[in-house]
Structure 1
Amino acid sequence: MSVLDIPALGPAGPYRTRKRTTVEDASGVPALELASVPALVVSHWIDQLRATAPLPAPRAAAVLGKAADVFEDQEILGDDLAAHQRRVAELTGTPVAVVRECDRLITAALRDAGRTVSSARPSGCLPVGTAVADAPSAGAVWCRVGDVFAVHAAGNSPGVHAMWPEALALGYRVVVRPSNRDPLTPLRLVAALRQAGLPAGQLVLAPCDHATARLIVDRADRAVVYGGQAVVDTYRNRGDVRPQGPGRSKLVVTADADRDTGLGLASAGALYHAGTACTATTGVLVEHDVTAFAEELATALATVAPAPPADDAARLPCMPQADAELLVAAVLDRAKDAVVHLAPRVERLGGDGSLSAVTPAVVELASAKDPLLSYEVPFPCVWVAPFERGALDVLDGSLVLALHSRDAELHARALDLPSVSNVYGSRPTSWLHPDVPHDGFLGEFLMRAKGLAHADEKRSDT
């Protein structure tokens, strides 16, 4: 894979910097030279975004829909979509089948933006952009709470970039700080949006160091920030920032549910996006015969064979051998007091042996209160624990909670857990639907209802 020169994309076009970051691919070989935009430049770009008028909602939706076609059909940086997907797979170690699925999520979100932006709108509010003259005599309008939206993107999955284009449809101007691990997906998306007719003053791509990334978050009106628990703790109490941290998604299998189906749900959820997505299953709680369930799950996951990321058969994440060994050692160290039914391994793949895959792990815990039930790592690693219906507090803090159970009361009680974002029935935690929010609707965070009343010309104001 040749070394690419990746610029920033500012309001005036591509922007190349003296300071650059070398990005290595999944085998540890330099693959990219990525621009690193200085803080003063980024701050100026944000001023320019703020001074630009938002696109009317119908035009924004049309541009986003056209961008989906450009993303799929046009060459960007000399790569058609298939070449781009292979390059992303080799760069990040993400299986190419996962990259393709994520790209389909992105283009589907672009084409559906005109509809999905209304999902979060209260039924009593008129749509964003409604002209005052067209509003009823009294009511409410859905309005932005700011002008500039910042995205501090993650690199664990290209699919994170299916979310933020919705902000453009709502009238926000957007600054994207890409992950060093995967700057290619947001670059292709930003370039596609611009080729589709989005003015450059509406959207910039600003790769930068961590200090400058914090400045972007502070200068924006709203921001979404991806990262680990430390990121969540940093921004937990800021109303203008939505932290997106570990998913800690869990599956519950009760004694009244079909066991084979439960094993299928656990396996599918564990392997989703090679185990790297926040909706991949981290914890499985089983009401009856936990040990047998863990053994059967281990048997199923042990059949998944490692393969290079650009191979269509790949289902596991790849990374440099040293990184893989550290990851496996960390899991085994934490599991030393538990029952390991399937130990993770480092599997070397071709070449000089530096490219390696990490195989799945299944570990049985003695109690659902063990903190390891929520220990999330970037490969298929499942912690299995006993479940008691009277102790639902162990389920809180889950992005997705899937309940394979016939107990309707259990479902109702799960919906009341304040830190559970999504509750599913007998579905894998990774299940997706365009009408189901990922972690609440983005519009809840970016918009608000404003009361509006016309002057009553039949009576004087007193």
Structure 2
Amino acid sequence: MRRFAWSPARNTPMTGSARFVPWVPQTLLSQRESTSSMAGPLHIPVIRRGKVYRSLDVSPLVDPRDGSLVAEISIANTDLIERDARVFHSNQTNPYRLEIEECQAIAHGAADAFLEGELELYPDGPVHGPQEYRDHLCCTTGLTQAHVHTQSERLANAIRTVTESIQQQAGGAVRKQVASGLAVILPNNAPGVNGLWLPALGLGVPVAIKPGHSDPWTPLRILSAWRSAGLSDGLMSYYPSTHAGVNMLLNSWPRGLLFGDGATVQPYRSRPDVDVRGPGRSKLIFGSDTISNWSDHMDLMVSSVLYNGGRSCICASTIVVPSHGEAIAQALAERLVEVGPSDGETLAACVEPGLAKRLNQYVDEAVRNDGVTDCSSELRGSPRWVVHDGLEYLLPTVVLCRDTSQSIAQTELPFPLVSVVEVAPDQIVDWLEPGLVATVVSDDANFVAGLRQSGKISTMHQGPIPTTEIRWDSPPEGNLVDHLCSQTGS
């Protein structure tokens, strides 16, 4: 079976850079069936180094609105994962290593294919176009079309610039050794997180992807895009699995990349072969020198809280200030109270059964404690937990924490929940829990240096930069090259 090809648009003037558009031979189109025209649910298989495997053990993926079956997902058991890893890694040489120039050409084609291509859902599978991808992703994750559009653009840019990212991360060093494989354990919260494992493909490192249950679509489309652009099937494996399968992948592959909440990642934190990402606990931190101008930064706060429906680990879940906490919390609550599911763009639905109820109960219990106030409840005039068009939502909630010891002060939840906390500048470092991102709005060199040297912030922005600003060349987004390579020289 021929693969989908990419070709310069016919009859397009070749002035400037060529514009690439998806092109599929008409004979091939007539032989292949689009997922939109197929009767019944899709089947999503295991992929073993480019070879499709259909398991007898399947997991249903349903439309949360009515419970109808969207797809059946083959589940890879631990014996299969272990056997594949043993056979694959018995070969000590990696035949898939890429030179930077070769990778760059493939990456540019893959980026265009990801955004616009009529791609195979899996090798020799049905056609899955860009709109079908977006529709399926919205259906099973609760994200809006606006969320998916933004995340897709970011992913395509990450694919297109992966070689530049690798070179920046390597800092000009010569790669002496590259890992022979990477197991990637993905979450459900945001498709954009898939951009973080792309340097592995750019280095020619084989990957074994365990997708999040509600988003099997994004990693599949990324693999199909790279395949259509010429990357070897031997680099790509895809193992939907259980928690036991996650453990087997991380134990049987040379390196691991693990996303998850505190309970998920804790058993692996001490393992040097596993790069742990999560939980986020990302923060906006104001210094004493800038807090008097806090109202100038309301847009910064709103965008950092609401990005991707508040579900990303890089969304601000805590705003730390030396003073003016009550005024800031009230003003932010007034801005966020305007946000609801009816606009169809900002909030993401909770699709996991029972999740919205559990999260709502947690917040209700937290705000009953002394020193904790829900600043949004009176402004809303409605419950936090609502149903709209058959989907459950949690409305944005701003909490003022006068008691800094309350757990909700540094809690990350998958909806727009943000706590405003007053902490004296000389006590912030001791009070902080480790987090992925912090934006520090301050020009106080000593204050900024103390936070940077604390070891509690993976990525720190200085100045009015949203916590959601993506930089693929610095942690947490960009340290995968260090994880995969040992380097020498400069």
Instruction: Please report the TM-score for the alignment, with normalisation by the length of structure 1.
Output: 0.87
Give the residue type in structure 1 aligned to 2:144.
P
* Match of residue 361 from structure 1: 397
- Change over 3 Å in CA distance of 1:435–1:120 after alignment to 2: closer
Work out whether residues 308 and 346 of structure 2, in 8 Å CA contact, stay in contact via their aligned partners in 1: no
Structure 1 position 342 matched with structure 2 position 379: no
Work out whether residues 471 and 478 of structure 2, in 8 Å CA contact, stay in contact via their aligned partners in 1: no
Give the residue type in structure 1 aligned to 2:230.
G
Query: Runs of 5+ in structure 1 lacking a partner?
Result: 129-141, 453-462
* Match of residue 443 from structure 1: 481
Give the residue type in structure 1 aligned to 2:456.
S
Give the residue type in structure 2 aligned to 1:66.
G
Deviates more, 1:204-213 or 1:402-411: 402-411
Structure 1 position 95 matched with structure 2 position 144: yes
Structure 1 position 53 matched with structure 2 position 95: yes
Shift of 1:122: 4.4
Structure 1 position 37 matched with structure 2 position 76: yes
Find the aligned partners of 1:358 and 1:34 in 2 and give their Cα distance: 28
Work out whether residues 194 and 200 of structure 1, in 8 Å CA contact, stay in contact via their aligned partners in 2: yes
Q: Does the residue aligned with 2:308 lie in a helix, a strand or coil?
A: helix
Structure 1 position 426 matched with structure 2 position 458: no
* Match of residue 112 from structure 1: 161
Structure 1 position 269 matched with structure 2 position 311: no
Identity %: 26
Q: Deviations over 1:177-210 (max 9, x none)?
A: 1111210111111122222222211111111122
Work out whether residues 285 and 368 of structure 1, in 8 Å CA contact, stay in contact via their aligned partners in 2: no
Match of 2:269 among 236, 240, 246: 236
* Match of residue 107 from structure 2: 64
Find the aligned partners of 2:471 and 2:258 in 1 and give their Cα distance: 23
Q: How does 1:259-338 map to 2 (within 5 A)?
A: 259-307=294-342, 311=344, 313-319=345-351, 322-337=354-369, 338=372
Find the aligned partners of 1:387 and 1:427 in 2 and give their Cα distance: 21
Work out whether residues 288 and 425 of structure 2, in 8 Å CA contact, stay in contact via their aligned partners in 1: no
Structure 1 position 84 matched with structure 2 position 133: yes
* Match of residue 44 from structure 2: 6
Find the aligned partners of 1:320 and 1:12 in 2 and give their Cα distance: 30
Give the residue type in structure 2 aligned to 1:357.
Y
Match of 2:420 among 384, 391, 405: 384
Match of 1:162 among 191, 195, 198: 195
Structure 1 position 17 matched with structure 2 position 55: yes
Q: Does the residue aligned with 1:32 lie in a helix, a strand or coil?
A: strand
Shift of 1:87: 1.6
Q: How does 1:239-250 map to 2 (within 5 A)?
A: 239-250=272-283
Shift of 1:255: 4.6
Work out whether residues 108 and 160 of structure 2, in 8 Å CA contact, stay in contact via their aligned partners in 1: yes
Work out whether residues 86 and 252 of structure 2, in 8 Å CA contact, stay in contact via their aligned partners in 1: no
Find the aligned partners of 1:73 and 1:356 in 2 and give their Cα distance: 31
- Change over 3 Å in CA distance of 1:149–1:28 after alignment to 2: farther
Give the residue type in structure 1 aligned to 2:97.
L
* Match of residue 143 from structure 1: 177
Q: Deviations over 1:428-450 (max 9, x none)?
A: 21122344433551111111125
Find the aligned partners of 1:405 and 1:174 in 2 and give their Cα distance: 41
Work out whether residues 410 and 433 of structure 2, in 8 Å CA contact, stay in contact via their aligned partners in 1: no
Root mean square deviation, CA, Å: 2.2
- Change over 3 Å in CA distance of 1:396–1:415 after alignment to 2: farther
Work out whether residues 19 and 36 of structure 1, in 8 Å CA contact, stay in contact via their aligned partners in 2: yes
* Match of residue 286 from structure 2: 253
- Change over 3 Å in CA distance of 1:31–1:439 after alignment to 2: same
Shift of 1:93: 0.5
* Match of residue 31 from structure 2: none
Query: Runs of 5+ in structure 2 lacking a partner?
Result: 1-35, 122-126, 378-382
Find the aligned partners of 2:205 and 2:262 in 1 and give their Cα distance: 28
Find the aligned partners of 1:444 and 1:12 in 2 and give their Cα distance: 27
Q: Deviations over 1:28-56 (max 9, x none)?
A: 62322101122232233324543351232
Q: Does the residue aligned with 2:342 lie in a helix, a strand or coil?
A: coil
- Change over 3 Å in CA distance of 1:382–1:28 after alignment to 2: farther
Deviates more, 1:20-29 or 1:233-242: 20-29
* Match of residue 14 from structure 2: none
Work out whether residues 209 and 239 of structure 2, in 8 Å CA contact, stay in contact via their aligned partners in 1: yes
- Change over 3 Å in CA distance of 1:440–1:79 after alignment to 2: closer
Give the residue type in structure 1 aligned to 2:484.
L
Work out whether residues 421 and 439 of structure 1, in 8 Å CA contact, stay in contact via their aligned partners in 2: no
Tell me the number of residue pairs that the alignment of Structure 1 and Structure 2 aligns.
430
Work out whether residues 11 and 200 of structure 1, in 8 Å CA contact, stay in contact via their aligned partners in 2: yes
- Change over 3 Å in CA distance of 1:323–1:396 after alignment to 2: closer
- Change over 3 Å in CA distance of 1:339–1:451 after alignment to 2: closer
Give the residue type in structure 2 aligned to 1:420.
I
Work out whether residues 316 and 359 of structure 1, in 8 Å CA contact, stay in contact via their aligned partners in 2: no
Give the residue type in structure 2 aligned to 1:152.
I
